[in-house]
Structure 1
Amino acid sequence: MIAVMYLTGSLGLFLYGMKIMSEGIAQAAGQKMQSFLEIFTKNKWISMLVGTFFTALIQSANGSTVLMMSFVNGGLLELSQIPGFLLGVNLGGSITGQMLSFDPEYLAPVLILGGACLILFGGERKTALSLGKVLMGFGLLFTSVSGMTKGAAWAGELSAVQVILEKLSHPLLAFGAGILLGCLFQSELAATGLLAVWTGSGWLGFSGSLYMLLGANIGCALPALLVGIGCKKDGKRTLWMHVCINLAGGIFWLLLLLLGRDGIENFFLKFSDGKEAAAVVNANMLMKLVWMAVCMPFTAKIVAVIEKLIWGQDGAEAAFELKYIGENHGFSPATAVLQVIRETEEMAKLTAENLSRSIETIQEPTSEKIQEVCQTEQNINFLHREITSYLVRLKQSTLVIDDAVYVDSLLYMVTDLERIADRGQRISNSAVKLKEGNVHLTREGEADLGKLAGKVEWVLKEALEVFYGNDRQKLPEILAVKEEISQSERELQAKYIERIAQDECSLEAGMVFADIISDLERVAVHGVNIACGAQEDI
């Protein structure tokens, strides 16, 4: 009983250490994860290297896979960019197992102490907090590995455990037991460590440990499928791709072992200087490396197979729907800022398009176009509420300083977008007044309005480019055009008053014209606010 408690307690410590270490890395990366994502656009080999490095760093193949699922589900990555990364994930997960070769007896306490000092005495510096979590996580991982080693050794001395282990000499039975072991632990490192300890202690034969290792790699990938419930098709495909890659790899090596077990086992043992415990760890890494080399030329085929396995497309999107944030996308500090940026970009696109559409209604006041302006404005209001709520929640989480500043800028920016949408709706309402009252603007008035609207749309377009590009070089030009718009608004107001006085246009037309140019000028003001919210050093 003590052995079981020691083993399970150490496993719990292992999982907690992995969790806080992953949080620390995510907080340290922050929005700079965007540059990490851009690497995927190059080629599958770089994608594979990133997957290997990232998984070796966070020590969780499932964590890396779920992170990629959130990127694909949120539209940040395409499914075709994922196979190389997932193959790298498998290799990276096996590389972390090499820590089992280290003696953490003296290193772990130092890491835990250093991490605790940074967390407790780092003050308000979020960099210190993030680094403290990383060190603390590593220390707990090393401590838990030692604990699992002792607990597994004690458990292996139990007669019941010895009877079970003796029966695992049959390849298929050991393979199935490995799948159950992986599902139970949900950690390749923990499963590999347990098998290495039992093999090194003599309680489990080296052959049986290899078969169990193949099954454990499959079992560790299965629990992540639960995360895919409620996700989009490509999000589910990402998780199933990881499972299928591991399943195919397991079957591949199972067949090889059945055909040439002695030669393969001898190679692994010689590679590890005859040490069976180390041979288990090294075999895991070498088998992943070979399987990755086999699969890399066929990544496009892997995507095609998964698309046929999980066939169909997502249903038609609802009128008001969040594409990148919300309940179906989860909430992870590592991706939250990126996802909300994508959502604000969608809102900005809708706002700019709806402004142009509302201006068009002045000359083309069709019921379809006016109704479209109204529906889009309601959608923008919905996005404003949801994004604002998400940003407030994000501010309450632990963010690096750059991300915290950027979140504040996003809060102000989405408010300006919502007000621009309101002005667009007002312009459309003015067009309705002209249509229903059978009132017409003068040709000169329409021409003046067209010039002013063109400048306003330019200001909004450039302001959004400045904001999302974090480049304030165009800000002086935007401010200059904004001053031209304000001056034009005053001049046009005076001109229309003069036309009314000379009876060249009706009072009703003059009032509507004044409302429209006033709304356009306010749009330019909000555009300048957006441009001024750009951060120079994010």
Structure 2
Amino acid sequence: MSTQEYVFLAFAFFGGFGMFIFGMHIMAEGLQKSAGDKMRNLLALLTNNRLLGVLVGTVVTVIVQSSSATTVMVVGFVNAGLMNLVQAVGVIMGANVGTTVTAWIVSSSEWAVFLKPDKIAPMVVGIGATMLFFLREKRQKQVGEILIGFGLIFIGLEYMKDAITPFKDAQAFKDAFLMLGHHPFFGILAGFLVTAIVQSSSASVGILQTLAAQGLVPWSAAVYIILGQNIGTCVTALLSSIGASKMAKRAAVIHLLFNIFGTLLFTVGTIVYFKTVGSAQGAVIIGMTGISIFHTVFNISNTVLLYPFADKLVYLSEKIVTGKDVEEEREEIIALRHLDNRILESPTFAVENAIKEVVHMGELAVENVRTAVEALVTKDEGLVEKVFQREKDINALDKMITDYLIKISNTPLSEKQQIVITNLFHTVTDLERVGDHAENIAELAAYYKEKDLTFTPEAMEEFGQISRKAIETIELAIQARRDNNPKLVPKVEDSEEEVDALEELLRQRHIERLAANLCNTVTGVVFLDSISNFERISDHALNVAYFVKDEAI
């Protein structure tokens, strides 16, 4: 062949590979959007039950179509404090099982009896594109994305196979794979390097299956390459753990240890097998389905074998990554790591994590209101300073959460998730304003102390009454946000109306006391400004609750 023909074949192979991995990406996005709340419910299963962790890891990997993405998310969850190492072990094991699904999708072109995927792929892309661009229902558009991704996978594979076809009789290729089959170290190294470079074991297995479809790969070479691919897939998680907490680094190390131990066990076993009873089998050419079978057997067997030793993996990771995470001494820790970019690999989980942080911000704001109230009642300057310091934390969270929400909004979201993100933007603003009102009350408390003012017994009782009701209102709203419970919204409405009525009543009563010279004007200003702040706090609480109600429609 001429140089030009070689160049065109290289273009075809890399173009096909590009369509293949892009198809995987598009299909994964469609699956995630379609899964929506179902993926969200998986977080609730992340208990210390490792078996449930394996299930979650398997399902998530099937949806995101990448064990690397799942393990990167695991590192993010551990770094964010949403998952401990015991839970992480199960999810990592499940991720290895879930990644086998992609190989079976690819090999279906060999064993599918009717409507072979590689033959109908162009039509599938056409149907998907029609649904995506001409149908209005979001669910139908999501199905269209899945179909486009599915079709592109097989179109890409066909381009790759066609580019390799002229070389299927080349002795150099055959000799190279025979060498990899006879030297396990080089076979494992080849699988490791390719996977580390493309950052996806599913993609590297797809490349191997493409080569196998042309009759170039013997069983022994395929086995060792697949074993190397399972170590190579750990590189992504290890890289993502750089700069993370020690616990997150341990999660990445657990992934590496799990795959290394499994690879060592199978390497020894397969070497013995190919050197003895299976010597002839090692030279037999493997097909795409054969690769899927071994890939599945390896990952499931590895999980079954090492499952009882999960605690040992945790122990080893702690010995490799020593020391404890340094915690800040402040009572309220504003941890940017809670808004971990790794979790953006799955927008559904990222949305849930953002909700948790918004709730955390709300809890800080409520605590600040309580502290401000106590500061005024007790005239404690230390509490006033505590309010001011916590308000800085709330403002910092406001910026961090807003930045994170912007990042989430740039990921593929379902229609409902887009509504949630928009509402979270507004909720953060309302909670920041609640913090501002707490700061206002603290400033009034400082003035109250400085001027040595004193409320009348009636005013003090009324101050306590409206402050308790305002705090109850914002607590109900935050609970509704935390639990995604629109049934609490009517309670928030009732409570907010009580605060409004109280504010109007107490304002009138205090004006009457001023008129009767029962308290001075300066004290009156502090009282009236305070109850006005409580009324505004309840207004913001109602806004927060209405956003939850809006999402339920």
Instruction: Provide the TM-score with structure 2 as the length reference.
Output: 0.87
The residue number in structure 2 matching 1:276 is 286
| Structure 2 residue aligned with 1:404 | 418
C-alpha displacement at 1:48, in angstroms? 1.5
Return the match for 1:483 from 472, 494, 497.
Answer: 497
Residue 306 of structure 1 pairs with residue 313 of structure 2? no
Q: Could you tell me whether the CA contact under 8 Å between 1:28 and 1:400 is conserved in 2? A: yes
Cα distance in 1 for partners of 2:488, 2:100 equals 49
Taking a change above 3 Å as real, the CA distance of residues 91 and 494 of structure 1, as seen in their structure-2 partners, is: closer
User: Residue type of the partner of 2:62?
Assistant: A
Partner of 1:510: 524
Query: 1:17-416 maps to which residues of 2 (within 5 A)?
Result: 17-30=23-36, 32-41=38-47, 43-103=49-109, 104-123=117-136, 125-168=137-180, 169-196=182-209, 198=211, 203-261=216-274, 265=278, 276-277=286-287, 278-317=289-328, 321-325=335-339, 333-392=347-406, 394-395=408-409, 398-416=412-430
Partner AA of 2:156 in structure 1: S
| CA offset digits 1:80-108 (Å, max 9, x no partner) | 21212221221222243223432233231
Moved more, 199-208 or 404-413: 199-208
Q: Are the equivalent residues in 1 in contact too, given 2:54–2:93 (CA < 8 A)?
A: yes
Q: Deviations over 1:316-358 (max 9, x none)?
A: 3596543433667657534332222122011111101111011
Does structure 2 retain, via aligned residues, the 8 Å contact 1:322–1:343?
no
Distance 1:84 1:326 in 2: 21
For residues 423-480 of structure 1, what are the alpha-carbon distances to aligned partners after superposition, in whole Å with 9 as ceiling and x for unaligned?
1111111111111111222233222211221111111111221233333334334333
The 1:81/1:18 distance shift into structure 2, 3 A limit, reads same
Matched residue SS, 2:46: helix
Q: 2:19 aligns with which of 13, 26, 30?
A: 13
Structure 2 unmatched runs, 5+: 1-5, 110-116
Greater mean deviation of Cα atoms: 446-455 or 316-325: 316-325
**Count of matched residue pairs:** 533
Q: What's the C-alpha RMSD, in Å, of the aligned pairs?
A: 2.9
CA contact (8 A) 2:86 2:311 kept: yes
CA 1:122–1:67: 2 relative to 1, 3 Å = farther
- Which residue of structure 1 lines up, in the alignment, with residue 511 of structure 2? 497
Contact 1:213 1:284 in 2 (8 A): yes
SS in 1 for 2:226: helix
Matching residue's letter, 1:51: G
Q: Retained in 2: the 8 A contact 1:96–1:189? A: yes
Q: Is the 8 A contact 1:3 1:155 kept in 2?
A: no
Matched, 1:537 2:525: no
Are 1:185 and 1:220, in contact at CA under 8 Å, matched by a contact in 2? no
Deviation at 1:409, TM superposition (A): 2.3
Asked if 1 retains the 8 angstrom alpha-carbon contact of 2:192 and 2:231, the reply is yes
The residue aligned with 2:486 is 472
**Separation in 2, partners of 1:291, 1:164:** 28
| Conserved 8 A contact 2:80-2:338 | yes
Change (3 A) 1:268 1:72: farther
Partner secondary structure for residue 376 of structure 2: coil
Letter in 1 for 2:219: F
- The SS at the match of 2:118 is coil
- Give the conservation status (yes or no) of the 8 Å contact 1:230–1:328: no
* In 2: Cα distance, 1:454 partner to 1:53 partner: 45
Shifted more, 460-469 versus 51-60: the winner is 51-60
CA distance in 2, matches of 1:329, 1:101: 30
Distance in 1 (CA, whole Å) between partners of 2:528 and 2:349 is 45
1:389 shift after superposition: 4.4
Amino acid across the alignment from 2:69 = G
Question: In 2, Cα distance between the equivalents of 1:406 and 1:189?
Answer: 32
Listed as ranges, the gaps of 5+ residues in structure 1 are: none
In the alignment, the residues of structure 2 paired with residue 474 and residue 94 of structure 1 have an alpha-carbon distance, to the nearest angstrom, of: 44
TM-score (norm 1): 0.89
How is 1:420-439 mapped onto 2 (pairs within 5 angstroms)?
Answer: 420-439=434-453
Task: Please identify, of 76-85 and 48-57, the stretch whose mean Cα deviation from structure 2 is larger.
Answer: 48-57
Q: Which position in structure 1 is the counterpart of 2:112?
A: none
